[in-house]
Structure 1
Amino acid sequence: MEVEKKYITSEELLKHNKPGDLWISIQGKVYNVTEWAKEHPGGDTPFINLAGHDVTDAFIAYHPGTAWAYLDRLFTGFHLKDFQVSEISKDYRKLASEFSKQGLFEKKGHVTMYSLISVAVMMFLVVYGVLKSESVLVHLGCAMILGMLWIQSAYVGHDSGHSNVMSSRGFNKLAQILSGNCLTGISIAWWKWTHNAHHISCNSLDHDPDLQHIPVFAVSTSFFRTLTSHFYGRKLEFDSLARFFVSYQHFTFYPVMCVARVNLFVQTLLLLFSTRKVPDRALNIMGILVFWTWFPLLVSYLPNWPERVMFVLASFAVCSLQHIQFCLNHFSANVYVGKPTGNDWFEKQASGTLDISCSTWMDWFFGGLQFQLEHHLFPRMPRCQLRKISPIVVELCKKHNLPYRSLSFWDANVRTIRTLRTAALQARDLTNPVPKNLLWEAVNTHG
């Protein structure tokens, strides 16, 4: 006997969008994810940002086909009465299905193995050069190699964080801790927390933590109105201090990027020793202790303090290329204020991203993330497949009149600096007063 379906409207679904009452819709079926949000491997941020909406596209993007079987226990018994699928969503889902049938999500190549081998070789060269040579130039070269090691190691951590690049979940977690915590000093738990929010709310000024750099940077004049960060749970005050820094941000961008790792170290420590629920907290702390054992010890073997300072700054400066790349992918793309609605997945990803065009032989340097839109649309896609699917994504953007931006590394830098300069010049307008505030209130911290 067929059971009569029960329905609710999109307006009624939207009422369940607060912590403690989180409902979503997938393919028109309504699920209560309030309790599941506490256990969700990706954290509760995706649910908090997308609750109250149909999230089919985001679910498809982040989950393999096996995940559908787990939804039944969360089903409320309701269906969405006014459920509709846009033409772009239909095409996106069809594309995801075709890629799955072709096995593109499983064909990972040997990228991870090659990356780990290159990281091991670079680590050997760095340690050998520091311990066995007395040459300042050799030590400088070792520092530059260490910067490249951090870049490549971060890509391994990124890949393993998005999908299982190893033979089992246990080995995958080991790869994350080694490549992230132990080698770079940046917690994979911190990365997952911020990175999931970034993907779900790509380029939302008040929900995407990757754009919330007040008082140092402001990519939009919307920050001049003092926004509330829903990720950090505090106001992003645009006070006199922020105005001063932002007014010169197009000059300070590259110098700040050279020491940006210091902020990442601080953010890692703030999260791991906060009262928030942190998955594998003890394991993450152990990994961080490994880094803060070998790195200072290595630096201590250098003969004097000038060389030690040179070594640290040089390694940070080389690694800044990766920090710059991440900024290029989003700083000059379109931004908005508010939550994503969940049913505009493709549009929001296309609007908020910028690709970097490069030759095939440079893929190792960019770690696949030069195909930023492709990665945002299909985050589980191994990086070795992104170049292959890029022409298909371009055609889909053309079909639906959506932006597809792909610039050279140089042009992307020019565009980013121009964006920062435009905001900087407007920040200097002294006819727009800002409230005075304490430095601590404006610093981008959490805990």
Structure 2
Amino acid sequence: MNISQIRFDKEHNVEFYKTLQKRVRDYFKENNIDRYGNWNMKIKTIFMLSLYIVPLVLILTTLENNLAIVFMWMLMGLGMAGIGLSVMHDACHGAYSKRAWVNSVLGFTLNCLGGSDVTWRIQHNVLHHTYTNVTGMDEDIDPGKLMRFSPHAKRYKAHRFQHIYAWFFYGLMTISWITAKDFKQLARYKKLGLTKTQQKSYNHMMTVTIISKIMYYGVTLVLPLILSPMVWWGTVLCFIMLHFIAGLTLGCIFQPAHVVPSSDYPMPDDSGNIKADWAVNQLFNTANFAQKSKWFTWFVGGLNHQVEHHLFPNICHVHYTNLSHIVRKTAEEYNLPYNSQKTFFKALKVHGQMLKALGTQDEFERDFHL
């Protein structure tokens, strides 16, 4: 089914979001603040960028001890994940700053890390946030034949072990980004007409992607191979380790927010209609975790508050903790779910259980009334 045919019900349960939007607007007005980042966001940006850049500089200039070099590569992996979660993510949503050029510059940090801000915006902003957990539309639940993230996807025999091997493949996520994925996505998005959403020509996007990847490999792999005292294969292994740490971190943050038992995975009818309001669909297919952990919330860019993020992706994550009280209260008033696990480890456990169920059962029976 063509993406342009998919429609959410605009007459069913829409009062929830209207009420919620008003309350959120009132919150910002009453507290005399705007929806963008604050001083905390600026400090975090400096920290996350430093967590990646400083270790790289030390590897290229001063360090001679192999153990110290390995540790620096590990820190870079955490820094890479931190930049993606806490800086680039808000910027690509236009939520970091009211100045468009600031969002563009900080969004481009993804290119500096080997990815592509353009393909990310299309996959994440256009597809994932609009059609959350809609099989065939949301690419975040479509990892190919390797894993089964949706009860509507075909189940293969190997999937019965996916709750075991999925974590390893999460670690390969960013390696996929820096190699072939961005190029395949750009070609596919062009055919689907989705590149038009970015107001740039396909040739421009492809050129920027190629040049930025060449520069990324040059700085992050070639220079360490030349300047670092570590043996060449050690540097290559550390480069892979960097990406494994970053990929595993990102996978463990994003997947437990959607691939969980509470998700109902809506499917459009033959006419492309989904019998749910868009905002209500977010509540049924998104889950929070570890909301009371200030440190965890700080490091993961508030993305443990995925419910708030999906309802208000254009609001900077530094506001999500306060907004969560408003969202939870409003959801309860309208008898709608507000899914949340108390701890990060419980969220991972539940996600693992869902992976096992998806790998061993063809269908899931749910009785959710949207």
**TM-score band w.r.t. shorter chain:** 0.7 to 0.9
Aligned to 2:360: 425
Aligned to 2:219: 294
Contact 2:95 2:103 in 1 (8 A): yes
Q: 2:121 aligns with which of 192, 206, 211?
A: 192
Residues 205 and 359 of structure 1, relative CA distance in 2, 3 Å threshold: same
Q: 2:314 aligns with which of 380, 388, 402?
A: 380
Shift in Å, 1:305: 3.5
Aligned to 2:337: 403
Q: Is residue 323 from structure 1 mapped to residue 236 from structure 2 by the alignment? A: no
Residues 124-164 of structure 1: CA deviation (Å, up to 9, x unaligned): 22321354222221121111111111112213111111125
Whole-angstrom CA distance in 2 between matches of 1:340 and 1:283: 37
User: In the alignment, residue 170 of structure 1 is paired with which amino acid?
Assistant: W
Whole-angstrom CA distance in 1 between matches of 2:147 and 2:40: 34
Contact 1:140 1:314 in 2 (8 A): no
Whole-angstrom CA distance in 1 between matches of 2:189 and 2:281: 32
Matches within 5 A, 1:5-20: none
Q: 1:255 aligns with which of 141, 165, 168?
A: 168
Shift in Å, 1:219: 2.4
Q: 1:113 aligns with which of 42, 46, 67?
A: 42
User: In the alignment, residue 191 of structure 1 is paired with which amino acid?
Assistant: W
Shift in Å, 1:84: 7.8
Q: Is residue 87 from structure 1 mapped to residue 18 from structure 2 by the alignment? A: no
Q: Is the deviation greater in 168-177 or in 413-422?
A: 168-177
Aligned to 1:30: none
Matches within 5 A, 1:355-374: 355-357=288-290, 358-374=292-308
Q: 1:348 aligns with which of 273, 276, 281?
A: 281
Aligned to 1:415: 350
Aligned to 1:314: 241
Query: Does the residue aligned with 2:129 lie in a helix, a strand or coil?
Result: helix
Whole-angstrom CA distance in 2 between matches of 1:420 and 1:334: 14
Matches within 5 A, 1:151-170: 151-155=81-85, 156-166=87-97, 168-170=99-101
More helix by percentage: 2
User: In the alignment, residue 153 of structure 1 is paired with which amino acid?
Assistant: I
Q: 1:268 aligns with which of 175, 182, 193?
A: 182
Whole-angstrom CA distance in 2 between matches of 1:261 and 1:151: 10
Contact 2:267 2:274 in 1 (8 A): no
Shift in Å, 1:385: 0.6
Residues 10-39 of structure 1: CA deviation (Å, up to 9, x unaligned): xxxxxxxx97xxxxxxxxxxxxxxxxxxxx
Residues 247 and 342 of structure 1, relative CA distance in 2, 3 Å threshold: closer
Shift in Å, 1:221: 3.2
Shift in Å, 1:393: 0.9
User: In the alignment, residue 352 of structure 2 is paired with which amino acid?
Assistant: I
State the percentage of identical aligned residues: 20
For structure 2, the 5+ residue unaligned runs are 363-370
Aligned to 1:29: none
User: In the alignment, residue 174 of structure 2 is paired with which amino acid?
Assistant: R
Shift in Å, 1:100: 5.1
Q: Is residue 140 from structure 1 mapped to residue 70 from structure 2 by the alignment? A: yes
Residues 340 and 163 of structure 1, relative CA distance in 2, 3 Å threshold: farther
Whole-angstrom CA distance in 1 between matches of 2:124 and 2:329: 27
Whole-angstrom CA distance in 2 between matches of 1:312 and 1:297: 10
Query: Does the residue aligned with 2:145 lie in a helix, a strand or coil?
Result: coil
Q: Is the deviation greater in 134-143 or in 367-376?
A: 134-143
Residues 380 and 248 of structure 1, relative CA distance in 2, 3 Å threshold: same
Give the count of matched residue pairs: 336
Contact 2:12 2:275 in 1 (8 A): no
Larger radius of gyration: 1
Residues 101 and 309 of structure 1, relative CA distance in 2, 3 Å threshold: same
For structure 1, the 5+ residue unaligned runs are 1-17, 20-44, 55-82, 225-237, 428-447
Whole-angstrom CA distance in 1 between matches of 2:88 and 2:265: 27
Aligned to 1:203: 133
User: In the alignment, residue 424 of structure 1 is paired with which amino acid?
Assistant: G
Whole-angstrom CA distance in 1 between matches of 2:273 and 2:72: 44
Whole-angstrom CA distance in 2 between matches of 1:355 and 1:264: 26
User: In the alignment, residue 15 of structure 2 is paired with which amino acid?
Assistant: E
Contact 1:218 1:246 in 2 (8 A): yes
Residues 216-273 of structure 1: CA deviation (Å, up to 9, x unaligned): 111233212xxxxxxxxxxxxx6xxxx1431211110111111121222322122346
Shift in Å, 1:101: 3.1
Aligned to 1:40: none
More strand by percentage: 1
